[in-house]
Amino acid sequence: MGGDPEQNEIARATAYTLARALIHADAFLSFPTGIVLEVEPVTWLEVRDCVPMGVVSGYMHQTLATAPLDSNHPDKIRLCGAAALTRALREFPALQFALGDFYTARREVGPYSAFYAFRVLEDVGFHFGVTKNDKPDWDAMNAALGTSKAKWNPLTEAGTGARHLSGRKLTMLETIDRATLLCLAHEAVKLTLNKIGVGTSS
């Protein structure tokens, strides 16, 4: 790629960050049945003699050369929804972290899935405030969402167990229903999005 190498690196890093944000949002919206996407920054886009315009998101794969493009393909609808959610959360950093942790929780298949699922709940808690001990304001979160500590106990216990693993805790984590934890983490984000007026089709 021509031009200033430093500027090229900044552009590459920015594109990678935006792509990651897009697939984090997609992992949330496509839950529970959609596949979890990944970013592979191994190609480039050469642009010449053009005026800067809005961001365009999409993906490339070798199979695109063997079949006609379909402007109404479900993947387009799915990624457009993810892009809209990403834009809506620009002013909510804690919720951006929540989507990133939810993405990681979906990808993890071992005990650390529980850890990241709990991290989602922590991110949501931080969205509602921080205590004097730098902890999420759980009381404010539950009051805003109309929930209780008991509702989130499975996430809290599993997340704490995964964070401080021991033989006993590992045995406990092996009996936990991963899908239940992911559903709770998803619900925490969904309730918060509804609270701030961000609609989703998830």
37 and 125 in a common domain: no
- State the pLDDT confidence band at 60, using cuts at 50, 70 and 90: low
Which amino acid appears at position 32 of this protein? P
Last residue of a domain, one of 87, 104, 122: 87
Structural domain including 120 reads: 91-195
Question: At residue 57, does pLDDT exceed 60?
Answer: no
What total of structural domains would you count in the chain?
2
* More reliable by pLDDT, 160 or 23: 23
Number of C-beta neighbours around residue 130 at 10 A: 14
Please give the C-alpha separations between residue 9 and each of 47, 123, 142, in angstroms, as whole numbers: 15, 30, 43
159 and 178 in a common domain: yes
Average pLDDT on 17-39 reads: 93
96 and 20 in a common domain: no
Tell me if 191 is assigned to some domain: yes
75 and 117 in a common domain: no
Last residue of a domain, one of 55, 87, 119: 87
Give buried/exposed letters for 31-44 (b at 16+ CB in 10 A, else e). Answer: beebeebeeeeeee
Average pLDDT on 156-169 reads: 76
Average pLDDT on 19-43 reads: 89
Tell me if 200 is assigned to some domain: no
Tell me if 201 is assigned to some domain: no
* More reliable by pLDDT, 184 or 18: 184
* More reliable by pLDDT, 143 or 78: 143
Question: At residue 143, does pLDDT exceed 70?
Answer: yes
Report the C-alpha gap between 178 and 162 in whole angstroms.
12
80 and 38 in a common domain: yes
Last residue of a domain, one of 70, 87, 104: 87
Tell me if 202 is assigned to some domain: no
Where do we find the tokens 């949330």?
Answer: 28
pTM of the model: 0.82
For residue 186, the model assigns a pLDDT of: 98
Beta-bridge partner residues of 136: 130
Average pLDDT on 163-176 reads: 68
Structural contact between residues 184 and 156, judged by C-beta atoms closer than 8 angstroms: no
Sign of the CA dihedral 156, 162, 167, 170?
positive
For residue 1, the model assigns a pLDDT of: 45
Tell me if 63 is assigned to some domain: yes
pLDDT above 90: percentage of residues in the chain: 52
